[in-house]
Chain A
Amino acid sequence: MANLSSFNLRDKGAEIWAGWSRPVRTIFVLSMIVLVGLLPFAATWGPTSFLNTPITSFQNVLVYPVGMFIMMALGLNIVVGKSGLLDLGYVAFFAIGAYTQGILSTLYGWNTWEIMPFGIGFAMIAGVILGLPALRLRGDYLAIITLGFGEIVRIVAINISVTGGPNGIPGIPNPPTFFGLHFDLMHPETYFWLVFAMILLVVWMIRRFTVRRPGRAWEAIRQDEDVAALMGVNTLVYKLWSFVIGAAVGGAAGVLYASKVMVISPDMFKFDVSILILACVVFGGIGNIWGVILGAGILAYLPERIRFISEARQLVFGAVLILMMNLRPDGLLPRKKREKITEKRSM
């Protein structure tokens, strides 16, 4: 057991990656992109048909929950994994993106591509409004404030008229045709490609951030905030940035989600979603992009795959969380060894 838990697949992967030359890397990345792009057809192709989900259509599952969860988990990972801020109300940004799409498209007739920057912008503004007071607090105080914010957004959506109250907003249009790709109920695979493209964009963005100044600042803040401040890192500004960028990813996911499901209601943005996404991040390996993607993929896909035990699937989900955390507390693919913090207080 000790051997299993100390084995770090992420470090192994990084070693192999470092040993490759540039053309090999390019070929590998391109072939991976093609493979993932073919995923929507996996359910009907013989050898991979075991992936098919019994009740919901596999292609829809790939978009929501799997694709959306991966995207949101990546966004939350910037906040929780990179700069070490515990955010329990991440669903709020998702909700803001979704409602932006819902309101602007039904009232003003804008299309999804036009709304996208606004959805992201509103989520970022919300991030600043929440972040400015909340990020002065630490640890678990921040957790309760963000939790409260998530609830407030949902309660406001229930109680004001422009969001349609508890019934939500029906009849949200699909995105218009784009480069000959149709986005409607008949073509879930184009949605998957869209989500996949956005995930790639987010991954690229996070990798750029990580190796540059903001990434180093987040790393310093996560390891020891006081020391980071002493070293001249403007902690509030960088914490705010990580919060706002995380919010932007959540908002983008929300816009896309609303245009996919066409009906949104406050019920979809409950506290459970925040918790589930946090679980995805920690389950896969907090702070490590590939771990987060794997964790979100598994946790989003698993309940759909085991829908045949529909009554007990959440029960199994809870048990899986307990078991996994006990067996691999650092997640499936933990972050690099050097990035681990030695806790000030031994637990």
Chain B
Amino acid sequence: MNFSVVTSQFWSLALQGLALGLIYALVSLGYTMVYGVLRLINFANSEVFMFGTFATLYIEVHFLGYDIGAPSLHGFKLVYTLAFALLASMLACAILAIIVELVAYRRLRARGANRLASLISAIGVSIFLLEGMRMITISRPMTTPRLLDKWSFGEFHGANFRIDTVLTIVAPIIIFVVLDQFVTRSRLGKSIRAVSMSEENSKLMGININRVITLTFCIGGLTTGAAAFLYTTVYENTIFNVGFNMGIAAFTAAVLGGIGNLRGAFFGGIALGMLEQFASAMLGSQWKAVTVFAVLVVVLLFKPNGLFGEAVQQTRT
């Protein structure tokens, strides 16, 4: 136990926790959006994330031709290169998420199969993607070029506002605001909420259920792709099993905030990121996961639907 580190490094830990937590929050959207509509854990989302990191790498290294030792970019070129990589990663993940839905969920749903069958077919997709990438990359970790020169805006009580940290905080917040507005205001967003409230009544109201489900997978893929890009930009490497821990963390974040709930995912992600940072500083990083799950159990005991979950969900099994 090391409490002094909390007071001495409070701002630094909080900033890192916030940045990490917002990446979790973006990935957890891939779980929470799908859960809201289908009431199923989208198990393959962790591999969608993994795919996104490799898509970013592929775009930067093979498509745009920046080698590992390439000098950092500046000015306008930097902005459009990063924007291009971000959009490409989002698009690739969205397409993959839609394919996952088609392969693992659609047919089973049409036949009214039980929930566990869909879970297993999603696990099958997950194993398939994981093993496929392992064979392609021969289990080697891959490094991405440092396109973004990591200069700092300045320090605040030891918290270093580096450009990539700021980017991983600002970009997810923008995405969340846009998404929140989309879900609450637009026609398509309203149809998503309608389906998550009652699938049968939505059908009666003339909503095309399959299109809504594809849309939610697509949105989950887009945000997961954005998270994959941010992750690759910050950590500058990736490996075939990168999705596993990320997937567990993101799913935990979604549950912590109240699964099926957009704002819950946002705050759950931040809470989890902070918790991980402070727990590793205090107890050592090996006990990080234990602390996280212990806190999760306690939270769920007192708020069985997560921090932001609605009471309505209690009636659903």
Contacts and interface: CB of A to CB of B under 8 A. Distances in A.
Interface of A: 5, 80, 86, 133-134, 136-141, 143-145, 147-149, 151-152, 155-156, 158-159, 225, 271, 275, 278-279, 282-283, 286, 311-312, 314-315, 317-322, 325-326, 329-331, 341, 343-347
Nearest to B125: A322
A253 B286 CA distance: 28
Closest 5 CB pairs of A and B: A321-B124, A329-B113, A148-B293, A318-B128, A318-B127
A155 B120 contact: no
B132 A148 contact: no
A322 B111 CA distance: 15
B126 interface: yes
A326 B107 contact: yes
A318 B297 contact: no
A322 B128 contact: yes
Interface in B256-313: 259, 286-287, 289-290, 292-294, 296-297, 300-301, 304-306
A345 B108 contact: no
Nearest to B105: A347
A5 B108 CA distance: 12
A314 B255 contact: no
B166 to A, nearest CB: 31
With a 10 A CB-CB cut-off, give which of A144, A278, A314 has the most chain B CB atoms. A144
Given A137-B300, A144-B296, A282 B116 contact: yes
A325 B124 contact: yes
A317 B130 CA distance: 12
B116 A80 contact: yes
Given A137-B300, A329-B108, A155 B286 contact: yes
Contacts of A225: 317
Nearest to A142: B300
B123 A279 contact: yes
Contacts of B104: 322, 325
A318 B109 CA distance: 19
Given A318-B128, A322-B104, A322-B128, 7 more contacts: A137-B300, A159-B287, A282-B116, A311-B135, A315-B131, A318-B131, A322-B121
A284 to B, nearest CB: 11
Contacts, number: 150
Contact of A347 (B38, B121, B131): B38
B149 to A, nearest CB: 37
A325 B120 contact: yes
Contacts of A318: 124-131
B134 to A, nearest CB: 8
B233 to A, nearest CB: 28
Nearest to B254: A144
Contact of A138 (B131, B297, B317): B317
A137 B304 contact: yes
A151 B126 CA distance: 19
A136 B297 CA distance: 11
A343 B200 CA distance: 13
Nearest to A154: B289
B19 interface: no
A33 to B, nearest CB: 31
25 contacts: A86-B116, A86-B119, A133-B301, A138-B314, A140-B255, A140-B259, A144-B251, A144-B296, A148-B289, A155-B290, A275-B123, A314-B131, A315-B135, A318-B125, A318-B129, A320-B124, A322-B125, A325-B108, A325-B113, A325-B118, A329-B108, A343-B114, A346-B112, A347-B112, A347-B118
Nearest to B39: A345
B123 A155 contact: no
Contacts of B127: 314-315, 317-318, 321
Contacts of B296: 144-145, 148
B9 to A, nearest CB: 23
Contacts of A315: 127-128, 131-132, 135
Contacts of A282: 116-117, 119-120
B41 interface: yes
Contacts of A271: 244, 248
A329 B117 contact: yes
Contacts of A144: 251-252, 255, 296
Contacts of A86: 116, 119
B114 A330 contact: yes
B120 A278 contact: yes
A346 B305 CA distance: 22
A282 B108 CA distance: 14
Interface in B67-108: 103-104, 107-108
A326 B132 contact: no
B316 interface: yes
Nearest to B116: A282
B252 A148 contact: yes
A133 B297 contact: yes
Contacts of B236: none
Contact of B317 (A139, A317, A320): A139
